[in-house]
């Protein structure tokens, strides 16, 4: 739900992001440059759409650990369809997204039908889909080349590739879905108290299956973005991506306990994480240091959020 609290949360995140940008601007000579901007614009879309799906799942009280592997699988399917079967992109892209949707549906049916916690179901699917992506691709990177790259080339007037507006569209749509539709309300309600929702006569299973299906499909969309950027499908793509997405979601103010959250917040979370990584890379920070700083920022963000919540709880 978009209200004053939510807007102030988003405002706070924007300030944090601007502070990070300013800091790196001071520290690194070339940080405030077109090159950084382009790097960010290339990397953001995939993580942003995955975080959007993850937000919906987390708001409903679940979690989807399989997104990284599902993305790799979808990429592999895309690569296979284009390179081996010689499908046109217009057919191969929908196939990749459908593959993600199928994986998501599996997650949803197992979680809602067998009442297994989504943590375990999606942990299982994480392994299964990674295996499938190796099987589909023959454990090789599939080169697609020029066919798909235009998607990742900067658009004439915007200066960013088409994937950026596409990702924004996904984020905005997901936010509207969450705050303006009955489905979104059901997700929030289920994340708050599934039992009470069931006893109010609502089919909780349908909403749960749908949200996992969406998350899977969005992993498929992310796969298309990622493949477009590299011009190839890597079966190892997206390793650890689920953790980056969860971090972005949490930094964005969504509670891991479910029942409250926003997709726009998650987008800002993605922005913060990606900017941080880009900035540290420019400073020449080593990989170990990059990871430690990122980890520290995640903890700091969540701690600050918890503190703010407690203060506001004291007030009302």
Partner 1 sequence: MTGRSSSPGPQPIDHSGAARPGPMPAVIQVEGISKAYSVPVLSNVSLEVLAGEVHVLMGANGAGKSTLAAIIGGLNTADSGRILRHDRPLRARSRREAQSQGIVMVLQELNLIPTLSVAENLFLDCLPHSLGFVDRKTLHSRARRALARVGLDQLEVATPLGRLGIGQRQLVEIARALERKCELLILDEPTAALSVREVEILFANIRRLQALSVGILYITHRLDELPRIASRVSVLCDGRCVAEYAGGEVAHERLIRDMAGGVVERPSPSTARLAGPMLLSVEGISGGSRREALSLGVRAGEIVGLAGLVGAGRTELLRSIFGADRRQSGTVSVAGGPPIRPGSPRAAVAAGIGMLPEDRRHDGLLLSQSVRVNATLATLSRHSRHGWLDRRSERAAAEGICTRLDVRCAGIEQPVRRLSGGNQQKVVLGRWLDAGCRVLLCDEPTRGVDAAAKATIHARLRAFVADGGAVLLASGELSELRAVCDRVLVMAEGIFVAEFGGEWSDEEVTAAAFTRAFSAEGAGSDRLWEEGKQ
Per CB under 8 A, 114 contacts partner 1: no
CB of 201 to partner 1, least distance (A): 3
Residues 6+ apart with CB under 8 A from 176: none
Q: Are 225 and 46 in contact (CB under 8 A)?
A: yes
Q: Which stretch binds partner 1 (CB under 8 A): 54-62, 133-141, 179-187, 213-221?
A: 179-187
CB-nearer residue toward partner 1: 33 or 181:
181
Per CB under 8 A, 196 contacts partner 1: yes
Show the site string, 243-272: x = touches partner 1 by CB under 8 A, - = not.
Answer: ----------------xx------------
The neighbour count for residue 292, using CB atoms within 10 Å, is: 13
Residue 96 is encoded by which pair of tokens?
Answer: 């990749």
Residue 9 is encoded by which pair of tokens?
Answer: 């949360």
Q: Identify the residue among 39, 141, 193, 294 touching partner 1 (CB under 8 A).
A: 193
Q: Which stretch binds partner 1 (CB under 8 A): 15-23, 71-79, 114-122, 187-195?
A: 187-195
Helix 4-27 crosses helix 263-282 at what angle (to 10 degrees)?
10
How far does CA 43 lie from the centroid of its chain?
12
SS3 labels along 29-47: CCCCCHHHHHHHHHHHHHH
Per CB under 8 A, 189 contacts partner 1: yes
Per CB under 8 A, 200 contacts partner 1: yes
Show the site string, 66-105: x = touches partner 1 by CB under 8 A, - = not.
Answer: ----------------------------------------
Sort residue 304 into left (φ over 0), alpha (ψ -120 to 50) or beta. Answer: alpha
CB-nearer residue toward partner 1: 45 or 253:
253
Q: Identify the residue among 38, 39, 192, 239 touching partner 1 (CB under 8 A).
A: 192
CB of 254 to partner 1, least distance (A): 14
Please identify which residue in the block is written with the tokens 């006893």.
199
Q: Are 108 and 211 in contact (CB under 8 A)?
A: yes
Residue 29 is encoded by which pair of tokens?
Answer: 């000579």
Write out the residues near partner 1 by the rule CB under 8 A. 3, 180-186, 188-189, 192-193, 195-203, 259-260, 315-316
């Amino acid at each position: 739900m978009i209200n004053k609290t939510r807007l102030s949360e988003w405002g706070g995140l924007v300030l944090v992001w601007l502070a990070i940008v300013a800091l790196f601007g001071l520290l690194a000579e070339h940080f405030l440059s077109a090159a950084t901007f382009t790097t960010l614009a290339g990397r953001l879309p995939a993580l942003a759409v995955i975080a959007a799906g993850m937000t919906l799942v987390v708001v409903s009280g679940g979690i989807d650990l399989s997104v990284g592997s599902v993305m790799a699988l979808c990429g592999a399917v895309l690569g296979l369809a284009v390179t081996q079967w010689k499908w046109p992109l217009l057919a191969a892209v929908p196939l990749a997204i459908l593959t993600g949707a199928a994986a998501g549906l599996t997650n949803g049916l197992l979680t809602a039908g067998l009442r297994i916690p989504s943590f375990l179901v999606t942990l299982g699917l994480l392994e299964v889909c990674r295996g499938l992506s190796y099987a589909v691709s023959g454990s090789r990177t599939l080169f697609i080349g020029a066919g798909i790259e235009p998607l990742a080339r900067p658009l004439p007037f915007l200066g960013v590739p088409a994937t950026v507006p596409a990702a924004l569209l996904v984020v905005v749509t997901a936010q509207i879905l969450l705050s303006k539709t009955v489905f979104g309300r059901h997700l929030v309600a289920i994340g708050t108290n599934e039992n009470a929702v069931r006893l109010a006569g609502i089919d909780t299973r349908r909403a749960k299956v749908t949200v996992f299906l969406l998350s899977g499909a969005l992993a498929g969309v992310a796969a298309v973005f990622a493949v477009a950027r590299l011009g190839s499908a890597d079966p190892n793509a997206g390793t650890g991506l689920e953790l980056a997405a969860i971090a972005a979601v949490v930094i964005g103010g969504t509670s891991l306990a479910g029942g409250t959250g926003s997709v726009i917040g998650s987008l800002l979370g993605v922005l913060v994480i990606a900017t941080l990584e880009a900035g540290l890379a420019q400073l020449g920070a080593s990989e170990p240091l990059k990871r430690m700083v990122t980890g520290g920022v995640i903890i700091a963000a969540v701690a600050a959020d918890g503190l703010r919540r407690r203060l506001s709880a004291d007030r009302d």
